[in-house]
Amino acid sequence: MTKIKGAEAFIETLRREGVRHIFGYPGGAVLDIFDVIMDVKDIKFILSRHEQGAVHAADGYARSSGRVGVCLVTSGPGATNTVTGIATAYMDSIPIVVFTGQVPTHLIGNDAFQEADVVGITRPCTKHNYLVKDVTDLPRIVKEAFYIARTGRPGPVLVDLPKDVMNATIKFQYPEDVSLQGYKPVYKGHAGQIKKLVDLVLKSKQPVIYAGGGVIHSNASEELRKFAHLTRIPVTTTLMGLGAFPSDDPLSLGMLGMHGTYRANMAVTYTDCLIAIGARFDDRVTGKIDEFAPKAKIVHVDIDPTSISKNVKVDIPVVGDCKLVLKDIIKALERRQEEVKELAKRLDTWHGRIEEWESKYPLRYNKGSKIKPEYVVEVLDKLTPEDTIVSTEVGQNQMWAAQFYKFRMPRLFLTSGGLGTMGYGFPAAIGAQVAFPRRTVVDIAGDGSIQMNIQELATAVQYGLPVKVIILNNSYLGMVRQWQGLFYKKRYSHTSLAVSPDFVKLADAYGARGILVEESSDVEDAIKEALKIKGPVLVDFHVDPEEDVYPMVPAGAPVSKMLLV
């Protein structure tokens, strides 16, 4: 068997894992790999303009496609620049594998040029990480990395590649399977626990399904819809779960939590049976935990046993994959059709109460002479195809997108939920556009957050990626300003962005297209024009600078105590 260099073996391992795209940035420690990449035809390398952007792009690629995203960067600052992107993926359970260059093994620990202990640095924010010390371990480690990233509760894995390991030679042989002692994710739910769950549901009078991102990760949206329609149980989703259940379905309550709908938060407050599926009871969802679903028996279905009863004590835990557990729940319900019919009929009163909440306090905003950001999102929803992929930055723009854009299918909404990373949306949109070159991809951004990774506009232009950026420009760090206005006596400390770039000129400087919109009457025409343009576009909407996101649950308050428009 002919020997090959470690760098060649590395690329072959990616090929065996079905990798089609790599996002990243070159540097000295990974030059041997990049020399091999130059001759590779079946894997495309996408050059970002910053390593953080590369990781977010790999993340957006993974969220939208369901495949593992891949990132490759150099050592030292190249590796440390990935940390925010890795932490973002970790908090939201996104399967990516990040490969970092490292100084030669004999220099590790010597404070060599561009050396950083990236394994130590990323240990708290990766599902697992590796330092490859011997080239013969490389194929096994890479295979394990992909396996760990995509199985169980997905997450990021980092593999550190010393330069001398990439130069060493190996008789390449890729392992056929993976066996990791102590890592055996449970996919099949316990039959006894599922029976208890079904018994509880069939006895309930005011049940609510609370669905999170785990439903999307396990491709269980179809099963969720079937479960809801079979029983007529209303469904609320987390921010990460948007699209897991069609937002325009009659059973949809919309999003719950800090900026959730009134009906969703009230339904959770008064439910007697809360069925949590693939959600983790985040503090932005629960509000004051002591008063979260106080009248309910709580069921929790999750593949990660450490998430169950971590934040909220549950009555019936079910460890397993959402898709498989939902299939078993549906089968059990179909064997008890008379009881299911009785439940569905009994829920008429519950649905009536929910309709009253919705009619009393629907999602709304006050019209005015200035452009309202909610209106921009509504028009965007009206004009874009049903399979449009929408990413967001973080802050008010994120919440308006979640509230006013209708997500009818999974994997169409890309946002940083757990970490709340400004600068996430644009590079994530680039990753999604790489995965789906023929789809419409839109990033809904704020004028503050878009500047965090605006340099990736060069990446979009270079690769002809027609991402559309909708900037809701209010000249503030909007969400922080909103909190200052409500809770800090309007002391607007360092949240004004009075000095910002001319985004039209900036787009032009990068070789893209910029459009300025200052009147409400021009909103629809501007979006239509942007969608027709084949390349990347920045549309700068000068929106009402004092518009706030409502409803809003103040920090520390129960979700039933909402501030309303």
The one catalytic residue among 34, 44, 114, 409: 114
Residues 146 and 229 in one domain: no
| Residue of 97, 213, 101 lying closest to 155 (CA atoms) | 97
Is 163 assigned a catalytic role?
A: yes
Residues 275 and 130 in one domain: no
Is 479 assigned a catalytic role?
A: yes
Q: Is the pLDDT of residue 159 over 90?
A: yes
CATH of the domain at 8: 3.40.50.970
- Domain end marker among 110, 137, 171: 171
Tell me the mean pLDDT in the region 279-288.
Answer: 96
Which one-letter amino acid corresponds to residue 263? R
Question: Is the residue at 180 inside a domain?
Answer: no
Give CA angle at 240 (223, 62), nearest 5°. 85
DSSP 3-state assignment of 252? strand
The one catalytic residue among 143, 163, 372, 468: 163
Question: Is the residue at 28 inside a domain?
Answer: yes
- Domain end marker among 360, 391, 420: 360
DSSP conformational letter for 320: S
CA distance 217 to 410: 9
Question: Is the residue at 553 inside a domain?
Answer: no
Residues 201 and 263 in one domain: yes
Residues 461 and 352 in one domain: no
pLDDT bracket for residue 565 (50, 70, 90): confident
The one catalytic residue among 8, 12, 17, 51: 51
Which one-letter amino acid corresponds to residue 122? T
CATH of the domain at 336: 3.40.50.1220
Q: Is the pLDDT of residue 2 over 90?
A: no
Integer-rounded Cα radius of gyration of the chain: 24
Residues 379 and 329 in one domain: no
Question: Is the residue at 34 inside a domain?
Answer: yes
Question: Is the residue at 555 inside a domain?
Answer: no
Is 433 assigned a catalytic role?
A: no
Cα–Cα distances in angstroms (integers) from residue 146 to residues 97, 120, 530, in the given order: 7, 20, 38
Is 114 assigned a catalytic role?
A: yes
Residues 140 and 250 in one domain: no
pLDDT bracket for residue 23 (50, 70, 90): very high
Question: Is the residue at 547 inside a domain?
Answer: no
Tell me the mean pLDDT in the region 546-550.
Answer: 97
Question: Is the residue at 111 inside a domain?
Answer: yes
Is 404 assigned a catalytic role?
A: no
- What pLDDT shows up at residue 1? 64
Determine if the peptide bond prior to 536 is cis (ω within 30°): no
The one catalytic residue among 3, 113, 331, 386: 113
Sheet holding 297-302, edge to edge: 252-255, 235-237, 207-211, 273-277, 297-302, 316-319
Residue-wise pLDDT for 391-429, tens only, equals 999 999 999 999 999 999 999 999 999 999 999 999 999
Residues 343 and 383 in one domain: no
Residues 31 and 127 in one domain: yes
pLDDT bracket for residue 546 (50, 70, 90): very high
Residue-wise pLDDT for 456-510, tens only, equals 999 999 999 999 999 999 999 999 999 999 999 999 999 999 899 999 999 999 9
Question: Is the residue at 365 inside a domain?
Answer: no
CB–CB of 155/145 below 8 Å? no
Residues 226 and 154 in one domain: no
Tell me the mean pLDDT in the region 103-127.
Answer: 97
Number of domains in the chain: 3
Which has more confidence, 1 or 141?
A: 141
The one catalytic residue among 240, 255, 266, 479: 479
Collect all residues with Cβ–Cβ distance below 8 Å to 15 and sequence separation of at least 6. Answer: 42, 43
Residues 472 and 397 in one domain: yes
- What pLDDT shows up at residue 255? 98
Residues 399 and 473 in one domain: yes
**Domain ranges, residue 343:** 191-360
- Domain end marker among 336, 360, 384: 360
Residues 137 and 237 in one domain: no
pLDDT bracket for residue 527 (50, 70, 90): very high
Give CA angle at 82 (20, 279), nearest 5°. 80
**Which of left, alpha, beta for 279 (phi over 0: left; psi -120 to 50: alpha)?**
beta
